[in-house]
Amino acid sequence: PPAVIGSKSVFGFLEFRWPFFLHSEADRALHLLAEMSLLKFHHLLQPTDPQNLPVLIIGQLRHLTELPFSRVSPKLEPRVSPETFGKAISSLQPSPTDVCSLYLDVARVAALPLKSSRHNTASRAHAITKLIQTNTTGVSESIVIVCEKQDLLASACAVARAFPLYNRKTSKQATAQPPPTVHIEFIVVGGSPDAVVEVTEEDVVALANVTVGIRLAARIVDAPCNEMNVSGFLAEVEDIAAGLGLKSKIIRGLELKERGFGGIYGVGKAALDPPALAVLSYEPQGATETVAWVGKGIVFDTGGLSIKGKTAMPGMKRDCGGAAAILGAFYAAVKSGFRQNLHAVFCLAENAVGPEATRPDDIHRLYSGCTVEINNTDAEGRLMLSDGVVYADRDLKANIILDMATLTGAQGIATGKYHGAILTNSDDWEARALEIGRRTGDLLSPVPYCPELHFSEFSSAVADMKNSVMDRGNAQVSCAGLFIGAHLGFEYRGCMDARRYGRTGAQW
């Protein structure tokens, strides 16, 4: 979770392409069949025989080359000798990666890419995930990451991404066996080759909390809308609230309309499952700042009457990625002892087609009081998030507001599949977010914040603004976030941070 910046108020938007609770016995049965891996972190290397517990060792080649065999021997002896280990390391030629067997198929060592440019993470986190996905045994195993202390968090997050929780594949054989356990251990290097940098128990607890949040977000995004509809997402929110000892606030259906949330209600009113605004609040003693994270939760996006085609619509279950990431981050932050007031705001709806669907040319009044002429029903996320950020400002009194969404495909064009786009009114916030992205492996790239040049794209003759740009070639990725910021007001003196991921761009 990002650090609070002094006493400044912040608005920001993050766009990206990113505990496990089951609600019925049928769910439990299906998930048992999936045999999903359990992740267990250790702060010390556990002596094991690879014959009994397969091991995969991953690191940068320079770290592996300098690593004394004594530091890795608890995972390899008596099956692998120092000579065998040394020859295997000398044979590695990562371009981008390389794997060498140390003993049959139960002990292997892998080297990460040699190159890491200034816009990448030094941890090579994306390569770690890919290496594990292609080399996991599918049974209980040990993964040992050799890295510097600064890359500990990004490496742990990369491991978590390799083991998604959601799976509906069935098995013909009864699976009374417990799911496999993946033991994750670290050898931290730095300074002289013989220097030992300890991973503390506190480190392990923090890493576990973050990876639980990552896998939770991934499971929600992977689940289809016939399971993860608005009601299903609300059940996830309630489960997290119960687990953290917090209470949730939910505004749903016609109450949204009555209370002025015209964006959320207008987007979701055509669906059988009503839209909702849900809020989780954590308010520790001694807090001096109030932070609000606002997530877009479109559980499925048909595009509305501006309907997507048959090739564009599959995968739109992922359009709740912003809200899913906020829920996972909120869990991790609270469990890790976040010291400021923290609110998670979830804007939830299914953008469906039906008799009540919003039409192009309709005009909605949002929670800000501004009117919006709809010229594209497939630009729906910004309508919901505008309600969410104004609620965070007006009702929650947040002085730091960050919203996260799969907002626009323009993100993928602007910053690609590996870097989320960040739009913010704060130089300091932008710099900190970029640094945090490199530390965690969740890479970001800034896009222009220049409302005086770009917001005219939303000009309307009959309302305060339209919801989609006139010129799709004029900083479209920035415009999507500026629409949301406009409902706070560009004179807003807090810090606005909007982070975006396109639906087919960077993913969890």
Q: What SS3 state is found at 85? A: helix
The answer to whether residue 500 is catalytic is: no
The residue annotated as part of the active site, out of 269, 318, 382, 499, is: 382
User: d(Cα 310, Cα 300) in Å, to the nearest integer?
Assistant: 14
Q: How many CA atoms lie within 13 A of 168 on its CB side?
A: 8
Q: How long, in residues, is the chain?
A: 508
Q: Please report where in the chains the tokens 């530390």 appear, as a residue.
A: 439
Give DSSP secondary structure letters for 124-135. -HHHHHHHHHHH
Convert 241-261 into a string of H (helix), E (strand) and C (coil): HHHHCCCEEEEECHHHHHCCC
User: d(Cα 32, Cα 22) in Å, to the nearest integer?
Assistant: 11
Buried b (16+ CB within 10 A) or exposed e, 274-313: bbbbbbbbbeeeeeebbbbbbbbbbbbbbbbbbebeeebe
The residue annotated as part of the active site, out of 8, 257, 308, 432, is: 308
The residue ranges of DSSP E strands in 104-228, in sequence order, are 107-111, 141-148, 181-189
Tokens of 31: 């998930």
Give DSSP secondary structure letters for 374-410. -S-TT--HHHHHHHHHHHHHHTS--SEEEEEE---TH
User: d(Cα 452, Cα 143) in Å, to the nearest integer?
Assistant: 51
Closest C-alpha among 249, 283, 263 to residue 397: 283
The answer to whether residue 269 is catalytic is: no
Q: Is the previous residue joined to 78 through a cis bond, with omega within 30 degrees of 0?
A: yes
Residue type, 126: H
Residue type, 325: A
According to DSSP, residue 197 is labeled B
> Which sequence positions are flagged as catalytic?
308, 382
